[in-house]
Chains A and B, each alone.
Chain A
Amino acid sequence: MQIRYDTETACLVVRLDYEIDHHSATLLRADIDAAIYAHLPRTLVLDLADVAFMDSSGIGLIMGRYKILSPLGGEIVLRDPAPHIAQILRFAGMERLARITRSAPKEVV
């Protein structure tokens, strides 16, 4: 996982990877929350492009961050989920809590 904060846009970008389950979510949560409380971002981007697996523990992770950010006026963006992860997000109704976005396809040079 990589965490980057952009002061200009007040945007915290968390690039998640590998597999998000109950085991890894417990570990990720502490690091993400430390960055949230350090910066109080307007937008939390969870970049899911490199995530190979996610179950309902990942949904719990997103819901928990929403509960922290929402009272602070922050929003969550879920970026580039793989098809089977987008399916879980839809199943859980995550589009009601977060914006699900897709990056423009990379230019082939």
Chain B
Amino acid sequence: MNVLNECRFDLVAISANEALARAALSAFLIPADPTAEELADLRTVISEAVTNAIVHGYRGAETPGRVTVLMRMLPERTFYLRVTDKGCGIPDVSKAMEPLWTSAPQEERAGLGFAIMQSFTDTLHVRTAPGRGTVLTMRRRLGTTHAAP
């Protein structure tokens, strides 16, 4: 993989860090000159991914775990995002990806996290193992640059 730029960090899995993940994504992506829509889409994507790790991955954990975020800029303006947790894993991935299905209706989860991530990226891969965690890998190719000539 020919990596043009890369940024990797661990977050403590507490909800206050959802905003921090979005801010980091903005800072990483802005030099690539995304459109306002691309930036808004990808901010939503990282927010959903990190929230899933915190809300579902580390559900009931005694001490907050860590969420690892890896962002890469690849050739042809392809943005790569990987979000990893070492939490409980997803027992049934196809169920989890059904729009409006949620394992936590009592917490007012809308069940749209995966649907939004899928819709706002070009590819989404889920690797998960019970009791070992989940790795989400996504790619989104940005439009050609619209910088002033």
Residues of A within 8 A of B (CB): 19, 21-23, 25-26, 29, 53, 55-57, 59-61, 63-64, 83-84, 87-88, 91-92
Contacts and interface: CB of A to CB of B under 8 A. Distances in A.
B22 A53 contact: yes
Interface string B37-71: 10011011001100100110000000000000000
Contacts of B111: 56
Given A53-B43, A56-B116, A84-B37, A21 B51 contact: yes
Contacts of A59: 110, 112
Majority secondary structure of chain A interface residues (helix, strand, loop or mixed): helix
B36 A22 contact: no
Contact of A29 (B36, B108, B110, B113): B108
B109 interface: yes
Nearest to A54: B44
Contacts of A61: 108
Given A21-B19, A23-B15, A91-B116, A55 B48 contact: yes
